[in-house]
């Protein structure tokens, strides 16, 4: 039997040629809650996007100077290996977001984009069928076609059965049924966005779900509901990564493991006591240790490129 | 993964055609003899024949429009202006010739009819050959006929209204249509009568180089309501085909008319249509206009708001793929106080296709308290495609509220990533985004048209993603 875990190993990722994640490793087992904490700009969101395979946050290290010019010294950090992400035995590092979702990953975005006219229920219908429908028996998702809707079947569910399942989960999140017919994130309040993301996680039942800043912009009631959602997921065996800056959600959730991410690296890992410690003292001690190094190297890099432009390589 | 279908398969799925089986076909090209012949064969009253001949003169004198799409490739001498497909009009489905029935089967008429339609008047070639009108309509005094029959059976009403909303001198193509028109629908709704189910007509062209010149006239008497729906599909031919219809609608006091069109001509057709409504006091006119096919479309459904508190609405969707130019929009002329109008245009361009929004909002002096809202949104699916907006505002009164918004967007990478991260494939994600974009208008369509619209977008997207 394959290893039942999400294994992230020396994951590198960046955006627009700038390396942000510098070798992140962690292991999440089914039913566990991991919290990733860190100051602004530490690479938390990059980690979330890189896990899901966002094209702009390539796990692949961009072409470095060392590749274009062999004279340029290759730093040890910028190894050409993007690392690996293994979902229950399946390597997904080179897979598209669609294939990663099919492998069992889910990402709840911090500021999800609106897709006007695509209703939540329609999105869920399509996604659920993609994930659980029998291949070759897929019906086209034409929202207005009652005839095709009759043929819809995924994971043994007919469309009406699926719809009542969705309504049940919506009810759990205290979402009105009419909410399901709204265009996804189109004019949603902050709280509605978070709940819409949580609803998708609950319906789509991923093996591992990443929640990026799910606790920002929520009032206490909404925060409790979202935390209940995470617990509900965990009970069904989903491994959860909660990425958080303010740690508000950790009042209502007890993570099994807490990781501290600073300057693209996990600098500390511990139990829930670690998060309490950070809540009291902040990230200061990590920043002095690591941010200094980061700033220096970034500055150095700028000098090096400036030098190359004007006088060539040293 | 989505299987990629060859583009020709998906580009025009109704691109089949049946062997031609006609009773009569006029000679190619247009002259006085052709016009006289059309009128003679239809056994028309003298006034109509004279009107046709007068219109032919106007057509000859009028230049092609100097604005809009490129029409220089139309060869007016290479077109058949009149084709009569079968001997008699069929009263029932079974009486239709098998090959025509087969064609309709492929479009899906009988099925659609069973489920949704109350009355069908389907046009094959230039003549209505199949219609089934519910007795209900007759009981209510509603007239729903093809225009040729209407001229024979109700010549007085036709003479009273024909060409009053769009006279032949309006434009070159109105003149052409008036001179050679054939088929189209006539709808008369008596005062206070509400026609609950949409009246539907399917149109079809099936001969190379044949012109299709329907003439439709709808009269809604005071306080009445009717929804008229037409949908078109045509087979693909290599030489250019011309479709030039005229639709005149009169909405009397307190009446409401909705006119829905889904146009899906094959991509060799020039579709040049004049549609106009006169709306009287407290009347409501709604145009719902979808332009998917054709090589070139020029169509700007108009509302002339002539009475106090009259309201007009134009909802328009245009899709332009490779080699297509959809020049569409709407016009609202506010000639009375407290009139209101809304024009919503959604256009999609893909594969080098071009969409243009062209619109006019005019407020005449003295028309106070006018409200108008124009929204045109364009979606570009790739960098090859193009979208333009040509809005004209001619506001000659101060006390008005006129709004215009226009947006152009591309299918966002973030939207695609979002849907893909839920496990949805790229082609399906794209079609969901496009269908979502046009949803505000699609939801106004009758059900089977909405389904068809979603499916067409889906097929197009599957063809576009490798």
What ipTM, to 2 d.p.?
0.85
Query: Å from B251 to nearest chain A CA?
Result: 30
Residues whose CB is less than 8 angstroms from the CB of residue B443 and which lie 6 or more positions away in sequence, other chains included: A144, B450
Residue labelled with tokens 């219809």: B245
Please check whether residue B450 touches A, CB under 8 A. Answer: yes
Residue with the bigger pLDDT between A280 and A183: it is A183
| A117:B447 CB<8 A | no
Q: How does the average pLDDT of chain B come out, rounded?
A: 81
Query: Å from A134 to nearest chain B CA?
Result: 13
* Residue B57 CB neighbour total at 10 angstroms: 13
- Number of Cβ pairs closer than 8 Å across A and B? 102
| A145:B455 CB<8 A | yes
On whether residue B85 sits in a domain, the answer given is yes
How far is CA B250 from each of CA B162, B244, B328, rounded to the nearest angstrom? 11, 20, 22
Please check whether residue B20 touches A, CB under 8 A. Answer: no
What would the two tokens of residue A73 be?
């010294």
Q: Taking 80 as the threshold, does the pLDDT of residue B332 lie above it?
A: yes
| A130:B412 CB<8 A | no
Q: Scanning every residue of chain A, which has its alpha carbon at the shortest distance from the alpha carbon of B456?
A: A142
Alpha helices in A58-217 (DSSP H): 65-68, 97-103, 120-132, 146-151, 159-172, 190-204
Band (pLDDT 50/70/90 cuts) for residue B267 is confident
* The predicted structure's pLDDT at residue B307: 96
DSSP state of B281: T
Are A46 and A36 in contact, with CB atoms under 8 Å apart?
no
Hey, CA dihedral for B123, B128, B130, B135, is it positive or negative?
positive
**Residue among B171, B247, B182, B232 nearest B202 (CA):** B232
For the question of whether the overall pTM of this predicted structure is more than 0.80, the answer is: no
Hey, CA dihedral for A154, A158, A160, A164, is it positive or negative?
negative
Query: Å from B457 to nearest chain A CA?
Result: 10
Segment holding B139, helix H or strand E: helix B135-139
Nearest-CB residue to A115 (from B413, B419, B455): B419
Please check whether residue B97 touches A, CB under 8 A. Answer: no
On whether residue B466 sits in a domain, the answer given is no
Averaged pLDDT, B269-278 = 94
* The predicted structure's pLDDT at residue B217: 97
Residue with the bigger pLDDT between A251 and A53: it is A53
On whether residue B145 sits in a domain, the answer given is yes
How far is CA B217 from each of CA B155, B168, B252, B275, B433, rounded to the nearest angstrom? 13, 14, 14, 10, 37
* The predicted structure's pLDDT at residue A284: 79
Segment holding B37, helix H or strand E: helix B32-41
- B217-232 pLDDT tens trace: 999 999 999 999 886 5
| Integer Cα distance of B147 and B153 in angstroms | 10
On whether residue B255 sits in a domain, the answer given is yes
* The predicted structure's pLDDT at residue B462: 66
Q: Taking 70 as the threshold, does the pLDDT of residue B261 lie above it?
A: yes
On whether residue B235 sits in a domain, the answer given is yes
Hey, CA dihedral for A121, A122, A125, A128, is it positive or negative?
negative
Band (pLDDT 50/70/90 cuts) for residue A140 is low
| Integer Cα distance of B376 and B359 in angstroms | 10
Residues of A in contact with B412 (CB under 8 A): 113
Provide DSSP, A228-292.
HHHHHHHHTT-EEEEEESS-GGGGT---SEEEEEETTEEEEEE-HHHHHHHHHHTTHHHIIIIIH
Band (pLDDT 50/70/90 cuts) for residue B251 is very high
What would the two tokens of residue B396 be?
């000659």
| B414:A200 CB<8 A | no
What range defines the domain where residue B350 resides? Answer: 7-461
| Integer Cα distance of A230 and A218 in angstroms | 15
Hey, CA dihedral for A157, A160, A164, A166, is it positive or negative?
positive
* Strand A208-212 to A105-108 pairing: parallel
- B161-218 pLDDT tens trace: 999 999 999 999 999 999 999 888 899 999 999 998 778 765 434 443 344 888 999 9
Band (pLDDT 50/70/90 cuts) for residue A143 is low
Q: Taking 70 as the threshold, does the pLDDT of residue A295 lie above it?
A: no
On whether residue B2 sits in a domain, the answer given is no
On whether residue B138 sits in a domain, the answer given is yes
Lowest-confidence pick of A133-142, A224-233, A241-250: A133-142
Q: Taking 50 as the threshold, does the pLDDT of residue A63 lie above it?
A: no
| Integer Cα distance of B12 and A229 in angstroms | 47
**Residue among B152, B415, B273 nearest A184 (CA):** B415
Q: Taking 70 as the threshold, does the pLDDT of residue B135 lie above it?
A: no
Are A215 and B434 in contact, with CB atoms under 8 Å apart?
no
Q: Taking 90 as the threshold, does the pLDDT of residue B375 lie above it?
A: yes
- B399-440 pLDDT tens trace: 899 999 988 888 878 899 999 999 999 888 988 999 899 988
On whether residue B78 sits in a domain, the answer given is yes
Q: Scanning every residue of chain A, which has its alpha carbon at the shortest distance from the alpha carbon of B450?
A: A144
| A116:B439 CB<8 A | yes
What percentage of chain A carries pLDDT values higher than 90? 51
Residue with the bigger pLDDT between B453 and B252: it is B252
> Which residues on adjacent β-strands are paired with residue B204?
B124, B233
Domain tally, chain B: 1
Supply the angle between the helices B413-420 and A120-132 in degrees, to the nearest 10: 50
């Amino acid at each position: 039997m394959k290893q039942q875990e999400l294994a992230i190993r020396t994951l590198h990722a960046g955006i627009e040629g700038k390396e942000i994640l510098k070798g992140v490793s962690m292991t999440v087992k089914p039913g566990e809650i991991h919290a990733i904490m860190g100051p602004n700009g530490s690479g938390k969101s990059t980690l979330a996007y890189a896990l899901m395979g966002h094209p702009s946050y390539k796990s692949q290290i961009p072409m470095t100077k060392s590749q274009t010019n062999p004279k340029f010294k290759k730093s040890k950090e910028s190894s050409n290996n993007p690392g690996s992400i293994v979902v229950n035995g399946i390597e997904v590092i080179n897979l598209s977001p669609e294939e990663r979702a099919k492998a069992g990953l889910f990402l709840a975005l911090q500021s999800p984009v609106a897709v006007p006219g695509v209703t939540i229920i329609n999105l869920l219908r399509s996604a659920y069928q993609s994930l659980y429908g029998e291949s070759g028996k897929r019906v086209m998702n034409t929202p207005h076609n009652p005839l095709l809707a009759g043929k819809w079947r995924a994971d043994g569910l007919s469309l009406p059965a699926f719809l009542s399942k969705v309504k049940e989960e919506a009810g759990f999140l205290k979402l009105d049924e009419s909410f399901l017919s709204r265009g996804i994130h189109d004019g949603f309040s902050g709280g509605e966005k978070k709940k819409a993301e949580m609803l998708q996680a609950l319906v789509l039942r991923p093996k591992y779900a990443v929640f990026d800043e799910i606790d920002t912009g929520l009032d206490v009631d909404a925060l409790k509901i979202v935390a209940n959602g995470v617990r509900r997921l965990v009970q069904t065996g989903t491994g959860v990564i909660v990425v958080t800056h303010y740690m508000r959600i950790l009042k209502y959730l007890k993570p099994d493991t807490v990781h501290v991410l600073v300057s693209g690296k996990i600098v500390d890992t511990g139990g829930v006591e670690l998060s309490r410690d950070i809540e009291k003292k902040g990230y200061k001690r990590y920043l002095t240790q690591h941010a200094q190094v980061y700033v220096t190297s970034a500055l150095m890099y700028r000098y090096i490129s400036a030098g190359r432009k004007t006088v060539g390589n040293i | 993964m989505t299987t990629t279908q060859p583009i020709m398969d998906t580009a025009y799925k109704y691109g089949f055609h049946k062997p031609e089986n006609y009773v009569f076909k006029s000679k190619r090209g247009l002259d006085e003899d052709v016009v006289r012949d059309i009128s003679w064969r239809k056994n028309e009253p003298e006034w109509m024949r004279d009107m046709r001949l007068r219109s032919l003169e106007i057509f000859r004198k009028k230049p092609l429009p100097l604005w809009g799409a490129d029409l220089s490739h139309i060869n007016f001498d290479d077109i058949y202006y009149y084709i009569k497909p079968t001997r008699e009009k069929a009263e029932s489905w079974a009486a239709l010739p098998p090959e025509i029935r087969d064609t309709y089967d492929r479009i899906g008429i009988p099925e659609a009819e069973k489920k949704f339609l109350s009355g069908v008047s389907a046009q094959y070639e230039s003549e209505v050959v199949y219609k089934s009108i519910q007795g209900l309509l007759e009981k209510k005094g509603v007239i729903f006929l093809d225009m040729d029959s209407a001229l024979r059976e109700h010549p007085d009403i036709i003479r009273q209204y024909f060409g009053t909303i769009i006279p032949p001198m309006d434009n070159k193509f109105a003149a052409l249509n008036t001179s050679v028109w054939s088929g189209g629908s006539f709808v008369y709704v008596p005062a206070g009568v509400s026609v609950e189910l949409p009246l539907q007509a399917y149109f079809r062209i099936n001969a190379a180089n044949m012109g299709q010149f329907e003439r439709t006239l709808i009269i809604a008497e005071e306080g009445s309501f009717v929804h008229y729906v037409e949908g078109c599909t045509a087979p693909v031919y290599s030489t250019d085909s011309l479709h030039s219809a005229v639709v005149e609608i009169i909405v009397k006091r307190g009446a409401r008319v909705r006119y829905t069109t889904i146009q899906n001509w094959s991509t060799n057709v020039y579709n040049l249509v004049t549609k106009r409504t006169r709306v009287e006091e407290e009347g409501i006119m709604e145009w719902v206009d979808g332009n998917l096919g054709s090589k070139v479309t020029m169509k700007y459904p108009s509302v002339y708001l002539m009475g106090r508190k009259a309201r007009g609405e134009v909802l328009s969707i245009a899709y332009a793929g490779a080699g297509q130019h959809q020049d569409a929009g709407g016009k609202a002329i506010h000639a009375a106080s407290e009139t209101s109008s809304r024009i919503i245009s959604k256009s999609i361009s893909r594969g080098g296709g071009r969409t243009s929004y062209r619109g006019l909002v005019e407020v005449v002096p003295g028309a106070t308290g006018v409200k108008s809202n124009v929204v045109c949104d364009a979606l570009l699916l790739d960098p090859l495609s193009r979208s333009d907006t040509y809005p004209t505002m001619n506001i000659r009164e101060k006390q008005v509220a006129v709004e215009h918004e226009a947006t152009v967007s591309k299918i966002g990478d973030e939207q695609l990533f979002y849907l893909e991260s839920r496990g949805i494939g790229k082609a399906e994600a794209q079609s969901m985004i496009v269908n979502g974009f046009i949803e505000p208008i699609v939801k106004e369509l009758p059900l089977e048209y909405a389904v068809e619209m979603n499916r067409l977008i889906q097929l197009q997207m599957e063809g576009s993603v490798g």
